[in-house]
Structures are given as structure tokens and as C-alpha cells.
Amino acid sequence: MNIKINAQYTALIKDTILKELRSKTLIFIFIATTLLILLGHSLLKMYMQSNPDSGVALISGSNSLSLMFSIINFWSLVIAGIFGISSVRSDFQEKIIYQYLTFPISRFQYMTCRILGSWFLVFTYYLYSYLLSALLFSLASKTIVLHWNHLLSIALMAIYTFLVIIISFIYSLFAEKIPSFLLLFATIAIISFSTNTMRVLEFGEYLKDLNFFKMIGLIVYLIFPRINYVSELASAVMFNEKIQLNLTLESLHLLLTSSFLIFFTNIVIKKKDF
């Protein structure tokens, strides 16, 4: 029985990956990203040759790969939204969702495999982009810019993209691709605004001067995963910056809210009429 279940999971995850590869979107993104990284490498190499002394300082310490890291993080966010939405939305558009549900798989299996397949594609893109840029930046500067702490940063970004995909998956159950994409970025913006506003307050100040907007911000701050904290932590780890977070408290909050998000998604897909 376990072998049969594992085979079903593997087949559906593989189907998710192949479906996105057939759309050619990921291939185009890989090519465009590679060209962008090669351009960055060429510009950095030219700068190093014309400014050999200041060029070393440019990529040393906390400034290493900072610009490329920001670009890769942003594009990984965009791609996570695209694939998280497309993973289920295309099944509705092509009217094959009903065929999948006639197979001996549960809706939870369907949801899990679609999310994991999308996450695998996004994380593969992120890993490829980062390693290629790190390699080319190392060659251009003749120094090693890839360090062990970067592995932890990459792992944190894997969590970040996974949560983004789950949120985009939820929206795709109710809206078309473009509205789902806009809702995703609106949600990320609201979470970011809420966390940046509430983080400066002491616990006893949460209910002081309470108004409508502060109440909404407090609800978002307490109930939603603080995904921008994950991205912030990944950046701090990569560049050896001081961590401004209570890691124990934030890890517990992330675990609880992420578990609730997965539980809620499972409830939604079970109740969804399709």
C-alpha cells in the first residue's frame, strides 16, 4: 500500500513538473536569467580590470553578491507566484481537474503534489541562479564569494518560496491567473507592512490606540506567516549581518501559522465544488 501511495505522489509531482516544462515559461526564465547573470559577470569583470583596488572592496564582506541576491530573490518570488497559481489554475482551464480526481488519489494528495512540484521547479531555478552567479562573480573577482553560511540562507529561501506557493495556490482555487497574482502580491505587501509596523511595538502596546487599520495589521501580524522575516533572515545570514529577530519566538510562530495555512488549504480544497 505504501509503495502504491508513494508511486502516486511521485507520478503527480512529475506530472506537475512536466506540465510547466511544456509551457516553455520556465525555459524562457532560465535563459533570460542566465543572460542577465552573464551580463552582470561581464560588467563586474570590466570594472575589476579598470579598478583593481576598489574592485576587491566592492564584492568583499557584506556586499558580496548583494545586488544579484536581491534580483534572484525577487524573481524567485515572481516565479513562485506564477507556478503556484498555474499548477492548479491550468487544470481548471483545461478541464482536466475532474480527470485527476477520478484517479485513486485524495484531494490532499493532489494539493500536496501540485505544491511540491511547483516548489521543486522554483527552488531549482533559485539554486541554479545563485550558484551560477556565485561562480561567475568568483571568477571575475578572483576570490571565493560562496561561503558555508550561504547554504543556510538558501535553505531559508526554500521555506520562503514554499509559503508563497501555498498562498498563491489558495488564491488560484477561486480566481483566474491575473487576479490571483495581484492578490498574492497584495497579501505579501500587507504582511510586510504589518510586520514592519508591529515589530517596533512592545507587546503591551498592541491594543493601545486601537483603530481599524491597526486592528487589521494586528490580525495579519498574529495569524499570517511572517514571510518577509524569512527573507530578511536569509539576507542577514548570507551577509553576516546582525539578526534583529527573536529566532525562538519567530520560529514557533512560523511553524504554527504555516501549519494552520496548510490545514486551511486542505479544508478549502475538500469543500471546493469540483
Question: Domain extents for the chain?
Answer: 2-271
CB of 33 within 8 A of CB of 125?
yes
Q: Which DSSP string corresponds to 186-242? A: HHHHHHHHHHHHHTTS-GGGTTTT--HHHHHHHHHHHHS--HHHHHHHHHHHHTTPP
Residue 161: half-sphere exposure toward Cβ, Cα within 13 Å: 30
How many angstroms separate the CA atoms of 155 and 162, rounded?
A: 11
Confidence class for position 153, pLDDT limits 50, 70, 90: confident
The yes-or-no verdict on residue 240 having pLDDT over 90 is no
For residues 15 and 115, is the Cβ–Cβ distance under 8 A?
A: no
Nearest residue to 173 (alpha-carbon basis) of 258, 86, 106 = 86
pLDDT reading at 163 higher than 90: yes
Average pLDDT of span 37-62: 58
10 Å CB burial of residue 23 (0-12, 13-18, 19+) is: middle
| Grid coordinates of 95 | 478541464
Cell of 132: 551560477
Given a cut of 50, is residue 159 above it in pLDDT? yes
Residue type, 225: P
Spatial CA neighbour of 264 closest among 236, 229, 219, 224: 224
- What 252-255 contacts at long range (C-beta under 8 Å, 24+ apart), as own/partner pairs, is 253/225, 253/226, 254/159, 254/225, 254/226, 254/229, 254/230
- Residue 6 has what pLDDT? 66
Q: What is the pLDDT of residues 87-100, one digit of tens each?
A: 888 877 777 777 77
Question: What is the average pLDDT across 167-176?
Answer: 88
pLDDT of residue 50: 63
Measure the CA–CA gap between 85 and 81, rounded to whole angstroms: 6
pLDDT of residue 258: 92
Cα maximum dimension of the chain:
66
CA distance 157 to 237: 11
Asked whether the predicted pLDDT for residue 164 surpasses 90, the reply is yes
DSSP state of 153: H
| Burial call 172-193: b when 16+ CB within 10 Å, e when fewer | bbebebeebbebbeebbeebbb
Helix, strand, or coil here: 206?
A: coil
